[in-house]
Chains A and B, each alone.
Chain A
Amino acid sequence: MPAVSKGDGMRGLAVFISDIRNCKSKEAEIKRINKELANIRSKFKGDKALDGYSKKKYVCKLLFIFLLGHDIDFGHMEAVNLLSSNKYTEKQIGYLFISVLVNSNSELIRLINNAIKNDLASRNPTFMCLALHCIANVGSREMGEAFAADIPRILVAGDSMDSVKQSAALCLLRLYKASPDLVPMGEWTARVVHLLNDQHMGVVTAAVSLITCLCKKNPDDFKTCISLAVSRLSRIVSSASTDLQDYTYYFVPAPWLSVKLLRLLQCYPPPEDAAVKGRLVECLETVLNKAQEPPKSKKVQHSNAKNAILFETISLIIHYDSEPNLLVRACNQLGQFLQHRETNLRYLALESMCTLASSEFSHEAVKTHIDTVINALKTERDVSVRQRAADLLYAMCDRSNAKQIVSEMLRYLETADYAIREEIVLKVAILAEKYAVDYSWYVDTILNLIRIAGDYVSEEVWYRVLQIVTNRDDVQGYAAKTVFEALQAPACHENMVKVGGYILGEFGNLIAGDPRSSPPVQFSLLHSKFHLCSVATRALLLSTYIKFINLFPETKATIQGVLRAGSQLRNADVELQQRAVEYLTLSSVASTDVLATVLEEMPPFPERESSILAKLKRKKGPGAASALDDGRRDPSSNDINGGVEPTPSTVSTPSPSADLLGLRAAPPPAAPPASAGAGNLLVDVFDGPAAQPSLGPTPEEAFLSPGPEDIGPPIPEADELLNKFVCKNNGVLFENQLLQIGVKSEFRQNLGRMYLFYGNKTSVQFQNFSPTVVHPGDLQTHILSGLGQPPTKRVAAQVDGGAQVQQVLNIECLRDFLTPPLLSLPVTINKFFQPTEMAAQDFFQRWKQLSLPQQEAQKIFKANHPMDAEVTKAKLLGFGSALLDNVDPNPENFVGAGIIQTKALQVGCLLRLEPNAQAQMYRLTLRTSKEPVSRHLCELLAQQF
């Protein structure tokens, strides 16, 4: 072994490094570096040609300076010169410099590529490897363009040395990751797969990484790798601990290669060939068995390598999710690790169990470890392990253990690290909602959250509790009572005041009978918090007060007194002042009837995905909330608690105020709390708050949009809007005091065109008017012409007062889709419906063909509109389907058929609507060849009647 001291070092470099290390201060270091840089510059610029060794030394010094964190802007040319040196060490330093200080100067790149080309062609394996390392280290597009075509050839050439093949494989991998389009697939792919059979373990190790990456894009081209990988794995797993010589690591045969092979297999479903599958299952069992054997060494490297393979094996078992026996064994193994003395293993076991919890085969087995996991949450000293424990509790939660888990998480929250509090809050809120059997427990849980960690309770969480209370009349009285009690705490969190204020404003009447919570008591309790609260909360409380005037006429005088007080009427905050003025006037001029109408109880919120869930997903990245997305584990829960679904009993008849939430052409000026939706919707239509300032806080606008704290989520209204367009193509999409958006649209086959008209209803100019359409991937929208003329000005358009501008969207439906473009463009899947006429016989034949349970979606629902056959017919035709007469034996029923045209495929759809006039109910049945389409169409259509 050559010792480093053996005179091979560059002494000048060593001296320089010592000098730097001896510098007592940052300033001294910089001074020394600047001196050195000046020296090197002068050497490089000097008349005397530098010899290769000096060049190497100076380039190395520059590299050192760069790695210290200083900028280096010269020396590239000298480094490039070194590349063409025939002395290995000079070449090597040149390549290192190039790899670390990547430069985009095109002249340099040309020279570098030239040098690389020469080395690749040199047939000297050491030089070839250096060149390949350089390409892999830089990995730029330019390198890809120059070499992506050559490297596959080097990789599969019969005469390439093993070390060259290894470097070529990983070099190609890096280029492919950077610019996949540059790596041409071809006949070499088959030969790459056969590298899995190579005698040299190092070649196999490098090749597996490449194949794992390539096969994700072209699974079929690489399919043969499955059986090769299985047999290779099988040979390794069954080999004795010394068979593989230098590839055995602490008595574990080829751990890196094993892990990589197991990763490769996770790119594919279980092998179809029974023999291959049998062999693989044998391997997996062997790995699980070996985990139970006594260790061959006490060294941590031994157990780490062994367990690395074990965890990868478990990942593969989970990926297949088809072998109940293996899944349960995996779970038991992880269960042992949960109590292991190695923190690392406990961490990984918790992490891995999270995925096991979502498999139907192992969910129950995971649940048996609940006590250990709860204990981990309480006692682990490392926050990252506690975090894993919290994740696992969340993943293993179902109806049977929800109360226990939620209460443990709440307890943990009191002492939890600040870093993970918000996430825990979100998780508790989601679990409490999803698994609530009785909603009083849910309300208690959320109020506890606010009490324990009020600062971490985001808007989404407390908006949600308001939605749920609003939609469930069985919990409203309890909620009012509970918030009333919570508010009596001397110090309560502002979020509690918000929730309390809102709930009492809506449902305070339900507890007013009790003298301890009589209207005056409720009011003075709320008002005692008023002065300590932020503007947003005070604004909300003012709305509560005006609602009190309606609920409890006896409080009118007191409240008018409060509103009239100088501190409100002349409040420096415009929002507060305005509310005080308007509410005071409203309470004085409006008759009791008008007041009752304007201030009526909020209508139920339409069903939608929990905004909390969306927030958690955003926080944790995709897959984080999978435990809840994943309906298969607990299918029943989705229906009951999946969203806030107003049960027929809780749906109040549409009240006049509900209409205010929609889009009546000119909302009466006095409708403060109820019109919040319109204000919020405005923001949404414009995709984010950025558009808000440009509209300017005109007096009208401020009047119509109480702060966002008033009534939470804006999207339900938007959804409602969308529903209006399911069966028609033209109309007003959105309107408030400022803006009207009209829509005209036409659809043919899988193409559509939509005209959007933006009308400025004010007398002032809209500045920076920029509508943005965000659409899901499957619905391609081309914006043909923008706003105003010329089209290029569309982004920063001004819209004059009273003027209208037009935008045209061309739409192509590529595949079936569920989510319409954001936000609220009425493009739903049924727009691409082509009506199909057919005779009864054909209809029934097709109906029978679509008889798989997942092809059918059915809904029984109460009529929301008068049941008029003509109107129903018009709606079904508007929906896009043909109406077929003489098919259904019952003439009252409607039968329709059509085809959804997308670029990728056509989806045949059959539907049947059975009205029951006596019960005022409908039954709607949809059958299509694609499950999500049936369900989605059924949802869309059911809302129309």
Chain B
Amino acid sequence: MQFMLLFSRQGKLRLQKWYVPLSDKEKKKITRELVQTVLARKPKMCSFLEWRDLKIVYKRYASLYFCCAIEDQDNELITLEIIHRYVELLDKYFGSVCELDIIFNFEKAYFILDEFLLGGEVQETSKKNVLKAIEQADLLQESQNEEWGGLSEDVL
């Protein structure tokens, strides 16, 4: 996989993950172009399209589009299920995930993705194993927060 983008129906980018080195300018250009292309497609259309020399696999979940760019030999259907498994992981972690969870906890969305996909390849497909890794981190975090004793003055 070369990259994964999450964006809203309004075209707002919610998450971007690049597995190939590209300049920021190029990333912005690609994002703009793809968001436009995908949003222009009608609901019943197929989930795959050719774009430049890549294959785009996308799926919409509620207000969010998940969009992956894969290479010529890569498998479209399994990529579709990569998206679904990622959604399941988010869902399980946040408890029926919605777009707002990903906006406010974007860093978590990145951490979960890193446990699932690394370098553009599937690293661990077991839901249990991925979430175990994230839970451990959260446990560490909670104990540490307690050390800091409340967050009342933490507004800025």
Interface residues of A (CB under 8 A from B): 1-4, 6-12, 14-15, 17, 21, 39, 53, 57, 60, 63-64, 67, 69, 71, 87-89, 92-93, 96, 100, 126, 129, 132-133, 136-137, 139-140, 163, 166-167, 170-171, 173-174, 177-178, 201-202, 205-206, 209, 246-247, 249, 254-257, 259-260, 263, 266, 301, 304-305, 307-308, 311-312, 315, 343-344, 346-348, 381-382, 384-385, 387, 621
Residues 129-156 (chain B) with a chain A CB within 8 angstroms: 129, 131, 133, 135-142, 144-145, 148, 151, 154-156
Residues 53-97 (chain B) with a chain A CB within 8 angstroms: 53, 73, 75-78, 80-82, 84-85, 92-95
B156 touches A312 (CB 8 A): no
Min C-beta distance of B54 to chain A, whole Å: 11
* Residues of A contacting B16 in the complex (Cβ-Cβ under 8 angstroms): 67
A92-B137 contact given A11-B155, A12-B155, A205-B125, CB 8 Å threshold: yes
Since A2-B135, A8-B142 are in contact, a sample of 12 more A-B pairs with Cβ atoms closer than 8 Å, ordered by chain A residue number, is A4-B94, A15-B156, A57-B154, A69-B13, A88-B137, A89-B137, A126-B133, A166-B118, A249-B85, A304-B80, A344-B80, A346-B46
B76 touches A348 (CB 8 A): yes
A382 touches B46 (CB 8 A): yes
**A10 CA to B107 CA in the complex, in Å?**
11
Q: Is B30 part of the contact surface with A, judged by Cβ < 8 Å?
A: no
Contact of A381 among B44, B50, B124, B136 (CB under 8 A): B44
* Residues of A contacting B110 in the complex (Cβ-Cβ under 8 angstroms): 96, 100
A133 touches B114 (CB 8 A): yes
**A602 CA to B154 CA in the complex, in Å?**
86
B140 touches A256 (CB 8 A): no
* Residues of A contacting B21 in the complex (Cβ-Cβ under 8 angstroms): 139-140, 178
Cβ contacts B96-123/A at 8 Å (1 or 0 each): 0000010111111011001000111111
A299 and chain B: residue at smallest CB distance: B84
Q: Is B9 part of the contact surface with A, judged by Cβ < 8 Å?
A: no
B140 touches A89 (CB 8 A): yes
Instruction: Provide 23 A-B residue pairs closer than 8 Å at the C-beta atoms, listed in order of the A residue.
Output: A2-B138, A8-B142, A12-B155, A15-B155, A87-B144, A88-B141, A89-B141, A126-B137, A132-B118, A139-B119, A163-B124, A170-B119, A174-B119, A177-B119, A202-B129, A205-B122, A206-B123, A246-B128, A247-B126, A308-B75, A315-B73, A381-B44, A382-B45
Residues of chain B at interface, number, CB under 8 A: 69
B120 and chain A: residue at smallest CB distance: A174
B148 touches A259 (CB 8 A): no
B140 and chain A: residue at smallest CB distance: A88
Contact of B53 among A301, A311, A344, A621 (CB under 8 A): A621
**A39 CA to B24 CA in the complex, in Å?**
25
A11 touches B151 (CB 8 A): yes
**A100 CA to B141 CA in the complex, in Å?**
22
A246 and chain B: residue at smallest CB distance: B126
A1 touches B92 (CB 8 A): yes
* Residues of A contacting B94 in the complex (Cβ-Cβ under 8 angstroms): 4
B12 and chain A: residue at smallest CB distance: A68
B114 touches A344 (CB 8 A): no
Q: Is B49 part of the contact surface with A, judged by Cβ < 8 Å?
A: yes
Contact of B95 among A1, A39, A174, A307 (CB under 8 A): A1
**A87 CA to B140 CA in the complex, in Å?**
8
**A247 CA to B144 CA in the complex, in Å?**
33
A387 touches B106 (CB 8 A): no
Contact of A174 among B19, B46, B80 (CB under 8 A): B19
Residue of B85, B111, B156 with highest tally of chain A CB at under 10 A: B156
**A315 CA to B74 CA in the complex, in Å?**
11
* Residues of B contacting A247 in the complex (Cβ-Cβ under 8 angstroms): 125-126
B80 touches A67 (CB 8 A): no
B95 touches A12 (CB 8 A): no
A301-B81 contact given A53-B148, A89-B137, CB 8 Å threshold: yes
A249-B45 contact given A11-B155, A17-B104, CB 8 Å threshold: no
B106 touches A64 (CB 8 A): yes
B28 touches A69 (CB 8 A): yes
* Residues of B contacting A249 in the complex (Cβ-Cβ under 8 angstroms): 81, 85, 125
Cβ contacts B33-53/A at 8 Å (1 or 0 each): 000000000101111111001
A54 and chain B: residue at smallest CB distance: B154
**A382 CA to B50 CA in the complex, in Å?**
13
Min C-beta distance of B29 to chain A, whole Å: 12
Min C-beta distance of B8 to chain A, whole Å: 12
Residue of A4, A14, A305, A381 with highest tally of chain B CB at under 10 A: A4
**A170 CA to B119 CA in the complex, in Å?**
6
* Residues of A contacting B45 in the complex (Cβ-Cβ under 8 angstroms): 343, 381-382, 384
* Residues of A contacting B136 in the complex (Cβ-Cβ under 8 angstroms): 126
5 closest cross-chain pairs (CB), A and B: A174-B119, A308-B77, A308-B78, A170-B118, A209-B121
Min C-beta distance of A917 to chain B, whole Å: 56
Min C-beta distance of B110 to chain A, whole Å: 6
* Residues of B contacting A132 in the complex (Cβ-Cβ under 8 angstroms): 118
* Residues of B contacting A129 in the complex (Cβ-Cβ under 8 angstroms): 133
**A290 CA to B151 CA in the complex, in Å?**
56
* Residues of A contacting B42 in the complex (Cβ-Cβ under 8 angstroms): 381-382
B93 and chain A: residue at smallest CB distance: A1
Min C-beta distance of A417 to chain B, whole Å: 13
Min C-beta distance of A712 to chain B, whole Å: 29
A10 touches B154 (CB 8 A): yes
**A201 CA to B110 CA in the complex, in Å?**
23
* Residues of A contacting B139 in the complex (Cβ-Cβ under 8 angstroms): 2
A171 touches B77 (CB 8 A): no
Min C-beta distance of A392 to chain B, whole Å: 14
A343 touches B46 (CB 8 A): yes
**A205 CA to B130 CA in the complex, in Å?**
14
Min C-beta distance of B139 to chain A, whole Å: 7
A205 touches B154 (CB 8 A): no
**A311 CA to B48 CA in the complex, in Å?**
15
Min C-beta distance of A726 to chain B, whole Å: 38
A202 touches B46 (CB 8 A): no
A310 and chain B: residue at smallest CB distance: B77
Min C-beta distance of A487 to chain B, whole Å: 38
Min C-beta distance of B27 to chain A, whole Å: 10
**A6 CA to B156 CA in the complex, in Å?**
20
A12 touches B156 (CB 8 A): yes
B77 touches A205 (CB 8 A): no
**A842 CA to B78 CA in the complex, in Å?**
61
Contact of A305 among B78, B123, B127 (CB under 8 A): B78
Residue of A6, A14, A88 with highest tally of chain B CB at under 10 A: A88
Min C-beta distance of B130 to chain A, whole Å: 9
A384 touches B122 (CB 8 A): no
**A202 CA to B127 CA in the complex, in Å?**
11
A256-B122 contact given A178-B21, A308-B78, A382-B46, CB 8 Å threshold: yes
* Residues of B contacting A4 in the complex (Cβ-Cβ under 8 angstroms): 93-94, 101, 105, 108
**A69 CA to B29 CA in the complex, in Å?**
11
**A913 CA to B144 CA in the complex, in Å?**
90
Min C-beta distance of B62 to chain A, whole Å: 16
**A450 CA to B19 CA in the complex, in Å?**
44
Contact of A9 among B105, B118, B137 (CB under 8 A): B105
A167 touches B118 (CB 8 A): yes
* Residues of B contacting A381 in the complex (Cβ-Cβ under 8 angstroms): 42, 44-45
* Residues of A contacting B144 in the complex (Cβ-Cβ under 8 angstroms): 87-89
* Residues of B contacting A136 in the complex (Cβ-Cβ under 8 angstroms): 118-119
